[in-house]
Structure 1
Amino acid sequence: MSLEFLVASAIAVLVAGGIYLVLRARTFQVVLGLTLISYAINLFLFAIGRLVVDAPPLYAKVVTHHADPLPQALVLTAIVITFGMTALTVILSLRSFLEAGTDHVDGKPDASPDADAGARA
């Protein structure tokens, strides 16, 4: 199994888990899903710089190959943006919870079986 296949599989698992959590009805799970998707994007940005084992991160005269520093800079920038996005999303979901009284994305509480039976009677 190659390193590229392992990284691609990790990205696929993170995206699948992120999409599953984003489609849930609770705000905390949506925040976790967005975070997983952002981790997958960070791994993807890091992988586009070609995965080279035992290569120096900067140019050296004695070594013919080196790692590309641009994806590393993109990942560092993406980490900062992800932190800000996550903080904003948590604050918005907390505000929504305090105003609506529920942590559902649509703001409606779960339909309980007792309330459903009382409405039919």
Structure 2
Amino acid sequence: MLKSILVIEDDTDILSTIENVLVYNNFAVTGLTHTEDIIESIKTYKPDLVLTDYMLPGMNGGKICQTIKSTRETNHIPVILISAYHRQAISLANFNYDVYIPKPFDIDKLVQAINKLLN
């Protein structure tokens, strides 16, 4: 069975690229461009990992990380936060992400980080 990844990214070009690369690397991928009812979406899709951008309309990726990690039904799910913001600025907020990947990102390093978290 393929590992499933929920990708939350409002830039449809980046979302499409990530989806294509992950599918090519044998992952089942669901992409979202919105953050409404994120916990319900996670409960519906039951991902093995969540990959989220930081800068999103509505709830930012940091808040998504905090919400996932503070909810009993979802706190076991690894979260990768991607962002163009400087790592120190994001880490100060203590968002409880598992891995931070800066934009622009190396797609091979992203896949390596995903494989490390899922294996």
The reply to whether TM is greater than 0.5 is: no
Higher share in helix: 1
State which structure, 1 or 2, has the greater radius of gyration over its C-alpha atoms. Answer: 1
TM score, norm. by length of structure 1: 0.28
TM-score by length of 2: 0.29
Structure with a larger share of its residues in strand: 2
